[in-house]
Amino acid sequence: MTGTEALYAEHNSVRLLKLHGDLSYAICYDTEADAFAMKNSKQINDHVQDGTFLLSLSCEQSDGEVFVP
């Protein structure tokens, strides 16, 4: 999972990433409150309707790579 295609949404520590060449999404957050707020947001739902998304407690974006444990 390398090559972040686009950064679609950002809210405090929450980042929604579309992985290059993949219909998977990683929603990265630091707290469960952030995750709850973003999981039901229309902004995210608009982007993930064509693929699946993963919720992760630990996710980093560095040098175009996305790490999902």
The domain of 21 spans 4-62
End-to-end CA distance of the chain: 11
Which three-class secondary structure state does DSSP give residue 21?
coil
pLDDT in tens, the chain (69 residues): 333 333 334 433 445 455 444 444 555 555 555 555 555 555 555 544 444 444 443 344 433 444 443
Domain count, the chain: 1
Q: Is 68 inside a domain boundary?
A: no
Q: Which residues neighbour 27 within 8 Å (Cβ) at sequence distance 6 or greater?
A: 14, 15, 16, 35, 38, 39, 44, 53, 54, 55, 56
In a domain, 67, yes or no: no
Residues belonging to the chain: 69
The model carries a pTM of 0.22
Is 7 within 8 Å of 43 (Cβ atoms)?
no
